[in-house]
Structure 1
Amino acid sequence: MTDRVGWRRVEQIMGTAISLDIADPLPPDELAAATDEVFAWLRLVDARFSTYRDDSEVSLIGALPEARRSADLRHVLDECARLWETTGGYFDAYATGRFDPSGYVKGWSVRVASEQLAARGVGNHCLNAGGDVCLRGRSSSGRPWRVGIRHPSQASGLSWVLELTDAAVATSGSYERGPHVVDPFTGRGATALRSVTVVGPDLGVADAYATAAMAMGRAGVAWLAELPDHEFAVVADDGRTYRSAGLPAVA
């Protein structure tokens, strides 16, 4: 759930619905050009990093010499290595046995797309890629954007509604794809947490942190509580909820 605005576009990319809502009163041709650039970038990322495409850079990484790797791939490799260290090995792009940086790439690509929009003068927008959300400025109501966090066991229900601006929201959960987040230390799907939401300044990092906390299980709650400059909300497998004191939730 997000606030309604006058300009909206939705496309299926990366196996999910990606929606862009814009609140800036710009001419339609400027909005269309900015929107085209965003979705072209996201399609390029999908082509490079999809684990389902045999011709993607991720699928061919073992056969790609360093000189032939794109700057984007080199960036993702470096960030995944850094995040592996930051999370004590729980964010592991090799947890499934092959290189799969999906837990970072989607959030990172949406952040880059949001920066592209801002550079074009589109300073009030909400870009949502299947629960990974970048928010800038304010909604058309003049208030901060509102984002609903889905209840993991009630498809039409919400666990929290967040109100924020100039922030990133990433959610990792098992309610749609089952326990797809793997604990890299056991090799098994993580099941102790049903949903982890992280709010922070960088969507790629927030995405990776949410994935790492899912992999940690109950220990992930205490780990999230120690992160500087981030807020969190968690639903455990027994239905218990946990949230940071600074979570920008509204009643």
Structure 2
Amino acid sequence: MLREFKRSQKLMGNAFEITVVDKNATSANHHIDAAIEEIRRIERLLTTFNDESQTNLINRNAGLQPVKVDAEIFDLIERSIRISKITDGYFDISYGGIDKNFWNFNREMTELPDRELIKNHLKLVNYQNIILNQADQTIFLKKKGMRIGFGGIGKGYAAEMAKRLLQKRGIISGIVNASGDLTTWGNQTNGKPWTVGIADPDNSKQPFSYMNITDMAIATSGNYEKFVVINGKKYSHTINPKTGMPISGVKSVTVFCPNAEIADAMATPVSIMGIEAALNMVNQINHLECVIIDDHNNVYSSQNINLK
């Protein structure tokens, strides 16, 4: 008899919840343990909080020398740069240190950061200055002070890899949920597709719409959870890598894609680049869909979306 087994765990600074459909608790727990270990492995690889991580090694050698990295990191950086090209630089992993330096969204912030300071830091943000050498498997950041970080793609990558590991282990159905960025495969125990709610930005407890999905990942980006209000204006925690300033005008973005890594990476640029440009871009990419809600609660969606 198949049942759903769930476990929540704090990983990568986020609340992950792993659901597997399996015959018994013992076997389900083994599978979930393995998935958690896989996410921890990726966290060790990508973190900037550990001096020994390859990400830190790349950053420490910015402007000095190329760093040899694991194939996995090399490939992830290569895919990140591809996404930068597609999104015209609105997704950029070389955005490394900026938001931490200037924007603190714990509501204690009372004034905007110095524009000049931001401008100087922005000179270091440019994915075209991440030099990949396939032959040596090295990464080189061209300018001193440059930093990369996987905040925009790491969670999705980890969810995708955990899903693949569970599938390899014979789990035919499940969900890996990384704080609302989730990937699903197979069906519920009753044979029906998984149902997900799309959060209403004004009332995050209350979905404004439902979708039935299977073999699909969803990522959301919204300013309704983290923001500061300065001089009566709301600034969301999503920063435009081209200006160093938070975005305004868009309340929430939900991106659908079979691959969790791509869904995660696309949620930010879609919320930054302007509604028309974003819909244009999404409509040109196969298997990618989105829903955007603006500050006036207007709902925009890409061509193939059917909201319930």
CA contact (8 A) 1:164 1:248 kept: no
Of residues 291, 295, 298 in structure 2, which corresponds to 1:240?
A: 298
Separation in 1 of the partners of 2:203 and 2:223?
13
Corresponding residue number in structure 2 for 1:81: 81
CA contact (8 A) 1:172 1:196 kept: yes
Separation in 2 of the partners of 1:249 and 1:143?
18
Percent identity, aligned pairs only? 28
Corresponding residue number in structure 2 for 1:249: 307
2:268 paired with 1:211: yes
Of residues 81, 87, 112 in structure 1, which corresponds to 2:161?
A: 112
CA contact (8 A) 1:8 1:20 kept: yes
Of residues 189, 192, 211 in structure 2, which corresponds to 1:140?
A: 189
State the one-letter code of the partner of 1:174.
N
Separation in 2 of the partners of 1:91 and 1:54?
25
Separation in 1 of the partners of 2:288 and 2:237?
24
CA contact (8 A) 1:42 1:109 kept: yes
Corresponding residue number in structure 2 for 1:166: 215
State the one-letter code of the partner of 1:123.
I
For the structure 1 residues 51 and 172, does the alpha-carbon distance in structure 2 shift closer, same or farther, using more than 3 Å as the test?
farther
Q: Deviations over 1:130-175 (max 9, x none)?
A: 1211111001221000111211121211132121111111111222
CA contact (8 A) 1:132 1:170 kept: yes
Separation in 1 of the partners of 2:306 and 2:70?
38
Separation in 2 of the partners of 1:174 and 1:100?
21
CA contact (8 A) 1:146 1:162 kept: yes
Separation in 1 of the partners of 2:305 and 2:49?
35
For the structure 1 residues 7 and 234, does the alpha-carbon distance in structure 2 shift closer, same or farther, using more than 3 Å as the test?
same
For the structure 1 residues 31 and 248, does the alpha-carbon distance in structure 2 shift closer, same or farther, using more than 3 Å as the test?
farther
Separation in 2 of the partners of 1:186 and 1:87?
15
Corresponding residue number in structure 2 for 1:20: 18
State the one-letter code of the partner of 1:92.
D
2:241 paired with 1:184: yes
- SS at 2:209 equivalent: strand
Deviation (angstroms), 1:107:
0.7
Separation in 2 of the partners of 1:55 and 1:183?
29
CA contact (8 A) 1:76 1:105 kept: no
Which range is displaced more, 178-187 or 127-136? 178-187
State the one-letter code of the partner of 2:79.
E
Q: Give RMSD over aligned pairs.
A: 2.0
Deviation (angstroms), 1:112:
1.0
Separation in 1 of the partners of 2:51 and 2:274?
33
Separation in 2 of the partners of 1:55 and 1:62?
11
Deviation (angstroms), 1:184:
2.1
Corresponding residue number in structure 2 for 1:50: 47
Deviation (angstroms), 1:8:
0.6
Separation in 1 of the partners of 2:19 and 2:250?
30
Separation in 1 of the partners of 2:306 and 2:169?
28
State the one-letter code of the partner of 1:23.
V
2:101 paired with 1:103: no
Deviation (angstroms), 1:13:
0.9
- SS at 1:58 equivalent: helix
Deviation (angstroms), 1:84:
0.7
State the one-letter code of the partner of 2:294.
A
For the structure 1 residues 102 and 249, does the alpha-carbon distance in structure 2 shift closer, same or farther, using more than 3 Å as the test?
same
Runs of 5+ unmatched residues, structure 2: 99-124, 126-146, 228-235
Separation in 2 of the partners of 1:184 and 1:86?
15
Which range is displaced more, 54-63 or 136-145? 54-63
Deviation (angstroms), 1:79:
1.2
For the structure 1 residues 59 and 181, does the alpha-carbon distance in structure 2 shift closer, same or farther, using more than 3 Å as the test?
farther
Runs of 5+ unmatched residues, structure 1: none
- SS at 1:10 equivalent: strand
